[in-house]
Amino acid sequence: MLRKWMLILSFIYVSYLLILGSNQTYQYQIFGQSGTTSGQAQAPPGSDLTLPNLFASASKSVVQVTIVDPQTGSQQGIGSGFVYDSVGHIATNNHVVAFNLGNNEYIVTFLNGNAYEATLVGNDPFSDLAVLKILNPKATDVHPLALSNSLPLVGDTAVAIGNPFGLSGSLTVGVISAVGRLLPTSGGQDSQFMGSAASSFDIPDVIQTDAAINPGNSGGPLLNMKNEVIGINSAIYSNTGSNAGIGFAIPSSTIKKVVQSIITTGEYQHPYLGVTGVDITPQLAKIFGLIDAKGFLVTDITPGSPASRAGFHTGGVSYDQQGQITNSYGDIITKIDENEVRKIDDILTYLERAKKVNDTITLTIIRDNQLKDINVVLGSRPTQEEGLAVGPFGDQSSPELDGEYSDCPSYVPQSLCDLFVQ
């Protein structure tokens, strides 16, 4: 009998704890946005937050960037950004601020309604990043977001906060769909890649997410559940200009290097090789007698570039009337500092991740059926204007060899590009 009563009392006690615990959790989530936690302890640093608490913490650091034409006073666009440091630097996208070559007036508005004038510190079209500086901000408005020190994993939760269509303080949630993408930045009015800045180089190591990203989200943070910035939302893959479930963000590793350099020097110098070419296909592998379809065939070299000074040979590809490859020649890059090169993505990603201007790299090539190592001292990537003055300026795939549309990336079926891009 005593045992029976003990079991009943135990059941009542456990039920009471479950009900009380549920009520406490509910109140913690309900009041999270106003900062009230009903006596609950905050999540320890580095641990995952609930979505309401993540929004309450991060949203006060996310801003709306309004671009105003100083000549007419008219609004030219709206984007997003976030507080980078305690002195009021704002990280955003280059394409958000690049109207009128950056000769604009900028207004930075916080979610609490406080608005400030800002100046353009510098920008980098090649990574689609830019930095603004708030003028005389209140200390209570400056809450920097922390940058993640590691790349996200496919399947991780991703949270985008920004101002889609000017709707301030909007949060969307998804997952990391892929990492290590190569984002074309030569998008124009007819490109399915909406948002990315126009330049002649691709951005490597890009994060793909299905979190809804729409016009106005550009420049806003992509966060993990620890309230760390894993990327800056930069572009979407869309035929309509609205979210289609494929968004792209510049990774935190790139943000750290580029943004800090812009703050210090006003610019970022990208390491540069100076080659143009095509990834090895099964057809090319057969012509060159390669076992695997791996490597990068150099078809053009920028005059005066590091690759030119190092003695690289230009190559070429010949086609018949049916579009089949009949002959090919040239240097094939197979390794960079002993790291395998499967395609141009591997070269671009390695240079951006691990190298800087004036570093020396060793490229292993196949020339005339022989392996050869060539040492190259990396230069600084030329501006678009400098590149146009000397022709193709390198570190990219040859548009004419990639198919009909040069901005169709390798992971998107050519049929989709043929359908969407006219």
Q: Which of 59, 95, 395, 398 is catalytic?
A: 95
Q: How many residues does the chain have?
A: 422
Helices (H), 1-85: 2-30, 51-58
DSSP helix/strand/coil, 12: helix
Q: Which of 124, 128, 346, 402 is catalytic?
A: 128
Question: Measured between alpha carbons, how far is 83 from 97 in angstroms, rounded to an integer?
Answer: 16
128 among known catalytic residues: yes
**Tokens (6 digits) for 174:** 């998804």
200 among known catalytic residues: no
List all residues 6 or more positions away from 318 whose beta carbon is below 8 Å from its beta carbon: 325, 326, 327, 328
Q: Which of 218, 238, 328, 406 is catalytic?
A: 218
**Tokens (6 digits) for 78:** 């709206």
Residue 358: how many other CB atoms lie within 10 Å: 12
313 among known catalytic residues: no
Percent of the chain as helix, strand, coil, to the nearest 5: 25, 35, 40
**DSSP assignment of 286-347:** HHHT-SSS-SEEEEEE-TTSHHHHHT----EEEE-TTS-EEEEES-EEEEETTEE-SSHHHH
**DSSP assignment of 38-58:** TTPPPPPTTSPPPHHHHHHHH
Catalytic site residues? Answer: 95, 128, 218
